[in-house]
Structure 1
Amino acid sequence: MNDNEIKQLVADTGRRLLDKGLVARTWGNISARKDATKFAISPSGLGYENMEGSDVPIYDMETKTWEGSRKPSSEKKIHAAAYKLYPEVNFVIHTHQDYATAVGLATTNELEMSPEEKDLLGKISIAGYGLPGTDKLADNVTSSLKNSQVVLMAHHGALILGKDVEDALKKAEVLEEVCKRAVIKKIGTDAIEEACKIAGLKKMDTDAPEKESDKIAPFKAQLDDMAQMIGPKYSTGAVAKAKEGLSEDDLQALSLLLNKAIICKKYTEALGIDGRLSSFDCILMRTVYKFKYSKQKNK
């Protein structure tokens, strides 16, 4: 493929991930190898629904420079590590999928896989936490990549390497199914349905009365994207404040995020795991998101 085709592939894959519910808004990132030293990667802060091939920069791993009008994703170091470690890998996706994210807060010991699933996914590792875009996160993920091409990023999401785009997407979907089975086995389908119901209510009119049975006790953020969009603590008031001035599209993203956050909370509770992010990290991420990334989404 030429440069334009590779860049368009990245943009098109972003919309496919949106349709599959594996990413939302600007969260996550996608890359496609061009050659031994360069790859196309989704730009920083641009929503997938608005992304075109012309928006996608090409990053040079050797010179650490890029071609294009937009900055590459802040997670470019992680993608570079994947391509350097595995010459056979030609496509990398970083998702914020619900169930894999929940498992990433705990342990992979709960996962049960068929021989076919094991053959496809290989070893699944969990990388230690680091704030988004930092060297600490890149170093932790790189360490986990040395023995795995599927890495759960604690408090964050999943990184999936593939020989091509279809291989990477298939791995992402199978990973989510494997993790979903583990979560449901631990908390049951009723808890999943409750999370969906509560998250759906939260995207409605903030003045609408809330039934006592539909409330959930406030809890601290366990996930980067929750900290970014809502803040350090989930509560009815925090959600109402986060919704101020949001478009219908953004409200839908908030609903999806809440659904994931509640599932993660119920799963970690069932396992007796705390999983809370520090208040400082949450406030920092919320501030950066509010004054930077959320404003870039539609530009």
Structure 2
Amino acid sequence: MSATSQLEQLVAACHWIGSRGWAPATGGNMSVRRDATSCLLSESGKDKGSLTADDFIVVDIANNRAASGRRPSAETGLHTLLYRLFPDAGAVLHTHTVNATVLSRVEQGEVLRLHGYEMQKSLSGQQSHLDSVEIALFDNDQDIAALAARIEAFARTSPLRYGFLLRGHGLTCWGKDVSEARRHLEGLEFLFECERQRRLLERS
């Protein structure tokens, strides 16, 4: 599928995300791989629910540079890291949802483990609710280069699949294309909501 078609799908996904309140107050950032060396990344400070194709900036995957001089998202370095780590990644979605943000603070370990949910099968490669899904958790950091280095170091020794959580911040997920990234986002959000509710009920 062409980069133009993927960008059209990404714009539609951004409107869908915005309609659900998953990227409030211009938060979040979205991108799609343009080719082997560059991606198209949402411009900083834009409402994700009303983005157009003109609101995406060409960014060099190797060095995070935006040739146009416009300012891409603050988390540009996380998007480009994922495109470098995963050559088959075609789209990255970063959202600020209540479920992801709350669970990222409640869970104290390095991973959030999900088990026993049929909707785990919404994630590529997951075949059964009997398996466990581990979503990596990283402490938030305003130094994106330092954060990216920690994520890269984790990925060298541990599986990093579907997405990761930043404490008190939100979810970043990806897929081979916009459709898969969107499915991973929706599936993970459902799982996070279930897990949050389960933990609340267990304490009541």
For 1:212-291, list aligned pairs within 5 A.
Answer: none
How many Å separate the matches in 2 of 1:157 and 1:7? 23
* Paired position in structure 2 for 1:185: 198
- AA matched with 1:129: N
| In 2: Cα distance, 1:5 partner to 1:29 partner | 19
Within 5 Å, which residues of 2 pair with 1:45-84? 45-68=45-68, 70-84=70-84
In the alignment, the residues of structure 1 paired with residue 18 and residue 154 of structure 2 have an alpha-carbon distance, to the nearest angstrom, of 26
Q: Aligned letter for 1:120?
A: L
Deviations 1:178-223 (A, max 9, x none): 121221122249xxxxxxxxxxxxxxxxxxxxxxxxxxxxxxxxxx
* Structure 2 segments unaligned to the other structure (5+ residues): 125-132
Counterpart-to-counterpart distance in 2, 1:143 and 1:71: 27
Distance 1:15 1:145 in 2: 31
Residue 112 and residue 64 in structure 1: after superposition, are their counterparts in 2 closer, same or farther (change >3 A)?
closer
**Which of 139, 145, 154 is the equivalent residue of 1:128?**
139
Query: Is the Cα contact below 8 Å between 2:37 and 2:62 reproduced in 1?
Result: yes
Structure-1 residue corresponding to 2:114: 111
TM-score, normalised to structure 2's length?
Answer: 0.79
Q: TM-score, normalised by structure 1?
A: 0.56
Instruction: Give the unaligned 5+ runs of structure 1.
Output: 190-269, 271-299
**CA distance 1:181–1:160, change in 2 (3 Å):** same
- Cα displacement string for residues 217-251 of structure 1 (whole angstroms, at most 9, x for unaligned residues): xxxxxxxxxxxxxxxxxxxxxxxxxxxxxxxxxxx
Change (3 A) 1:188 1:130: same
Q: CA deviation at 1:140?
A: 2.9
- SS for the counterpart of 2:149 is helix
Which of residues 177, 184, 187 in structure 2 aligns to 1:171? 184
Cα offset, 1:99, TM superposition: 1.3
Partner of 2:130: none
Q: Which has the higher relative contact order, 1 or 2, with Cα contacts under 8 A spaced 6 or more apart?
A: 2
After TM superposition, give the deviation of residue 145 of structure 1 in Å: 4.5
Cα drift, residue 3 of structure 1: 5.5
Matched positions, count: 189
Which of the pair has more CA radius of gyration? Answer: 1
Paired residue for 2:97? 97
% identity of equivalent residues: 24
C-alpha separation in 2, matches of 1:120 and 1:3: 24
Aligned match of 1:160: 173
Counterpart Cα distance in 1 of 2:154 and 2:16: 27
Q: What is the alpha-carbon distance in structure 2 between the residues aligned to residue 63 and residue 114 of structure 1?
A: 39
Which whole-Å CA distance do the structure 1 matches of 2:66 and 2:112 have between them? 40
Please tell me the root mean square deviation across aligned C-alpha atoms, in Å: 2.6
